[in-house]
Homo-oligomer: A and B are copies of this chain.
Amino acid sequence: MNIGEIARRSGVSRSTVSYALSGKRSVSEATRQRIQSVIDELGYRPNAAARALKEGRTRTLGLVVPPVRDRLTFMQLDFVASVMAAADRADLDVLLSPAADDHDRSFERIVGGRRVDGVILMEVRLKDPRVERLRDMGLPFVTIGRTARPQDTCWVDVDYASLAERCANHLVDLGHRHLALVNRSAELVASGYGPAHRAREGFNEAVARRGVEGFEFCCADNAAAGESCVQEILRTHPEVTAAVTVNEAALPGVQRALDRAGLEIPARFSVAGVAARYWAEQFHPELTAADVPAADMGAAAVEFLIGRIAEPDSPPPHHLFTPPISLRNSTGPAPTPR
């Protein structure tokens, strides 16, 4: 079923069918309706590949997600969902690529084969070969997170430095003098993952400025790691009475370790952090946390990307999200030593 068939059955030329569909030149109401009824009857839809070839654009966005061996966090999942929703609103399709670097086959297929008009890159690292590749290709892209040189790329990000700092300040205000930071995994830190680095900076900044003690712990993105991380904190630094966490996937384990140690929250131990709202509400009592606005970020990323596809040479916009810290029930005054 192609445009020629529709033209034949409507008794007009192919161009008339095309114009009737696109509205780019006027078509008499009579022929227009005749064409439309043939189209409806046969269920014709223009072939996407032919259209892409002719127009030089695919009406498709690439979404590069972290490789699948690690489960996506809820935050990432919310982000994917909101990108899909925003793309759908703009009548754009989303092609998924699980790629950690620019040599991954799916990345190569999508970028090299020009299967997409633009790319959203999740979990970008401070120095990221995928960014170089996209720039070389001249393919519009938006990163989630900043590279080390953010001034000339288009990005959206969460201000982990300021959020970690504010969480730490909040705990110090409550009288805590010995804080732990539950950061992301050591591998992520080593690979130059921005949020982990910036969370560390913000935490250290607050700790130094307020003159209290702070200890950083890296923790893999799962409950079991969260549990052993907290156990290690309690063992090596029993004086710690509060933790800042930027590792939402570890939260159930953090909870379990504190429960098992008999440390009531917040009476004996306070926790504050950055997390998807889901995890914050899953915590018990609910977690005082900056709720990462993944849905807004996804929508913003798509909007930015559409803008860059339209005007590749315009200055790249970016937006740093600094969501408010929602005061819930997991933080309280430091326990008085007995």
Contacts and interface: CB of A to CB of B under 8 A. Distances in A.
Interface of A: 43, 45-53, 58, 60, 63, 68, 71-72, 74, 77-78, 81-82, 84-85, 88, 91, 93-98, 105-106, 108-110, 112-115, 136, 223, 252, 256, 278, 281-282, 284
B94 A96 contact: yes
Given A68-B81, A85-B68, A95 B98 contact: no
Contacts of A109: 48, 91, 93
B45 A49 contact: no
**Highest count of chain B CB atoms <10 Å: which of A74, A81, A85, A284:** A81
A267 to B, nearest CB: 18
Contacts of A68: 81-82, 84-85
Contact of A46 (B46, B74, B113, B223): B113
Nearest to A112: B45
Contacts of A106: 88, 93
A77 B84 contact: no
B45 A113 contact: yes
7 contacts: A45-B108, A46-B113, A48-B113, A48-B114, A49-B58, A72-B81, A96-B96
Given A49-B49, A49-B53, A110-B93, A71 B278 contact: yes
Contacts of A284: 256
B77 A47 contact: no
Nearest to A113: B48
A27 to B, nearest CB: 22
Contacts of A113: 45-48, 51
Give the 7 A-B residue pairs with the shortest CB-CB distance, closest first: A45-B112, A49-B52, A48-B113, A68-B81, A49-B53, A48-B115, A94-B96
B71 A98 contact: no
Contacts of A78: 71
A93 B115 contact: yes
**Highest count of chain B CB atoms <10 Å: which of A48, A94, A106, A282:** A48
A232 B106 CA distance: 48
Nearest to A96: B94
B84 A96 contact: yes
Contacts of A63: 96
Nearest to A60: B95
Nearest to A45: B112
Given A96-B94, A98-B84, A53 B47 contact: yes
Contacts of A81: 68, 71-72, 98
